[in-house]
Amino acid sequence: QVQLMESGGGSVQAGGSLRLSCVASNSVNCMGWFRQAPGKQREGVATTVNDISQYADSVKGRFTISRDNAWSTLYLQMNNLKPEDTAMFYCAAGPYYACDSVSNPVSQGRYNSWGQGTQVTVSS
């Protein structure tokens, strides 16, 4: 199983920016970012595989997902953060077909490696 470690979370004012990083123990095909607020269902934020990226509608134009050339480090640049972005953010890795959809829970279930999460808090 791939080992994942997130970092970069923190507390910021609305409109601020954060850059999350996720280091993987080895190269993987599909990687994605997910988030879960207290009492809410975990939701997909962004995914990337073979240079193809997908974003949830709520973050389009504000977030950018990327990874290094070795596909071992995943990033999420978050700009113009909003209070509703407050959540625990998780990095995930899986086979290429896990990146079939950002929002489909079936696709989310295909990820077989998950990080411990990094907290993002955005205040008004």
Per-residue pLDDT of the chain (124 residues; tens, 9 = 90+): 899 999 999 999 999 999 999 999 988 889 999 999 999 999 999 999 988 999 999 999 999 999 887 768 999 999 999 999 999 999 999 999 999 999 898 899 999 999 999 999 999 9
Question: Rounded to 5 degrees, what angle do the CA atoms 6, 11, 16 make?
Answer: 100
CA 54 to chain centre: 11
Contact (CB, 8 A) for 64 and 77 = yes
Contact (CB, 8 A) for 103 and 47 = no
Q: Facing residues of 24 across strands?
A: 4
Which pLDDT does position 20 carry in this prediction?
98
Which pLDDT does position 26 carry in this prediction?
86
Which pLDDT does position 29 carry in this prediction?
87
